[in-house]
C-alpha cells in the first residue's frame, strides 16, 4: 500500500474561469465545424456554469439542434439551453460590484425565485460597497495590492477582485450606492414596494451611478 501511495501523484484540477469556459465553447464548436459567436458562448456559460461536463452536454444538444448549420447565435442558445445554473448570493454581489447590470438582474431573478431574503441581499450589497469605499480611499494613497492584502487581511485573489471592482466606481458613486441601499432597506421594511421592484431599482441605481435617472432619492 505504501509503495502504491509513493507511486501516485496528486494533481489539482482547478475549475475554469468564465472567460476560459467561453473560449472552450467556441473552440469546441470550431472542432465540429460550427461557428459559435462570442455572445452565444457567453450566454451558454452564463446559463450552464463552468462545469466542463455540463457544458459538454449542452454543446451536444446545441450541435444536434443545429442540424448542419454552420453558425449559431444567442437565439439558438436560448432555444436549447435550460436555465440550469444555480446562482448564489456572492455571485449576485460580484455582478453588481462589477457593474454587470444584465447579469446582476438575471441572478437577482433566480435568487428571488429561490426565496432568498431581500434584507440579506441588501445587507451583503451594503457590506461590499462599504468595503469598496474603504479600498478606494487606500488606492488613492497609491498602496500596492500586497500592502492592501495585508491591511484588509484578504487573500491575493480577493484583493485583486475587489480592487478591480473598486476601480469601476468613483468615491462619489460608492457613497451614492450606500445611500441607495439605505433607502432600499427602508422601503423593504415599510412595504413601500414589493421586494423584486425595490431590489431591481436599487441595482439599477448602483450600476448606472449618480448620472442616471435616480429611482431612490433622499
Rounded average pLDDT over 196-204 = 94
Cell numbers 472542432 label which residue?
Answer: 31
Report the pLDDT value the prediction gives residue 1, as an integer from 0 to 100: 46
User: Crossing angle for the helix pair 101-113 and 195-208, nearest 10 degrees?
Assistant: 160
Distance CA 38, CA 118 (A): 33
Q: How far apart are the first and last CA of the chain?
A: 70
213: DSSP letter = P
Is residue 98's pLDDT more than 60? yes
CA atoms within 13 A on the CB side of 164: 11
Rounded average pLDDT over 44-52 = 81
Is residue 5's pLDDT more than 50? no
Report the pLDDT value the prediction gives residue 215, as an integer from 0 to 100: 66
Q: For residues 26 and 41, is the Cβ–Cβ distance under 8 A? A: yes
Q: Which residue has the higher pLDDT, 193 or 218?
A: 193
Report the pLDDT value the prediction gives residue 205, as an integer from 0 to 100: 94
| 32 grid coordinates | 465540429
Report the pLDDT value the prediction gives residue 207, as an integer from 0 to 100: 94
Report the pLDDT value the prediction gives residue 213, as an integer from 0 to 100: 58
Distance CA 180, CA 1 (A): 62
Rounded average pLDDT over 167-178 = 94
**DSSP states of 1-20:** -HHHHHH------PPPPHHH
Q: Quick one: which of 73, 62, 53 has its CA closest to 32?
A: 62
Is residue 162's pLDDT more than 70? yes
Is residue 2's pLDDT more than 60? no
CATH placement of domain 89-208: 1.20.272.10
CB neighbours of residue 97 within 10 Å = 24
% of the chain with per-residue pLDDT over 90: 38
Q: For residues 95 and 107, is the Cβ–Cβ distance under 8 A? A: yes
CB neighbours of residue 184 within 10 Å = 28
Question: For the segment 75-93, what is each residue's pLDDT rounded down to a tens digit?
Answer: 888 777 555 566 788 889 9
- Does the pTM surpass 0.75? The reply is no
* Alpha helix segments (H runs only) across 32-88: 38-48, 52-66, 74-80
Q: Which residue has the higher pLDDT, 184 or 75?
A: 184
CATH placement of domain 18-80: 1.10.8.60
Is residue 185's pLDDT more than 80? yes
Q: Quick one: which of 131, 132, 94 has its CA closest to 111?
A: 94
Rounded average pLDDT over 32-54 = 85
Tell me what the pLDDT averaged over the chain comes to.
84
Amino acid at each position: 500500500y505504501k509503495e502504491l501511495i509513493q507511486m501516485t501523484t496528486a494533481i489539482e484540477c482547478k475549475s475554469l474561469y468564465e472567460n476560459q469556459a467561453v473560449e472552450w465553447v467556441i473552440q469546441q464548436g470550431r472542432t465540429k465545424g460550427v461557428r459559435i459567436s462570442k455572445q452565444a458562448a457567453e450566454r451558454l456559460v452564463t446559463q450552464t456554469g463552468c462545469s466542463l461536463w455540463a457544458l459538454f452536454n449542452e454543446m451536444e444538444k446545441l450541435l444536434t439542434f443545429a442540424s448542419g448549420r454552420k453558425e449559431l447565435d444567442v437565439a439558438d442558445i436560448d432555444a436549447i439551453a435550460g436555465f440550469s445554473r444555480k446562482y448564489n448570493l456572492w455571485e449576485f454581489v460580484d455582478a453588481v460590484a462589477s457593474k454587470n447590470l444584465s447579469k446582476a438582474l438575471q441572478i437577482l431573478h433566480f435568487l428571488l425565485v429561490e426565496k432568498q431574503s431581500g434584507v440579506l441581499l441588501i445587507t451583503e450589497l451594503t457590506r461590499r460597497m462599504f468595503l469598496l469605499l474603504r479600498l478606494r480611499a487606500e488606492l488613492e494613497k497609491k498602496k500596492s495590492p500586497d500592502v492592501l492584502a495585508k491591511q484588509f487581511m484578504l487573500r491575493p485573489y480577493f484583493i485583486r477582485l475587489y480592487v478591480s471592482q473598486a476601480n469601476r466606481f468613483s468615491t462619489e458613486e460608492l457613497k451614492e450606492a450606500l445611500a441607495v441601499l439605505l433607502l432600499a432597506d427602508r422601503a423593504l421594511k415599510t412595504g413601500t414596494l414589493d421586494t423584486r421592484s425595490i431590489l431591481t431599482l436599487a441595482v439599477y441605481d448602483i450600476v448606472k451611478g449618480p448620472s442616471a435617472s435616480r429611482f431612490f432619492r433622499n
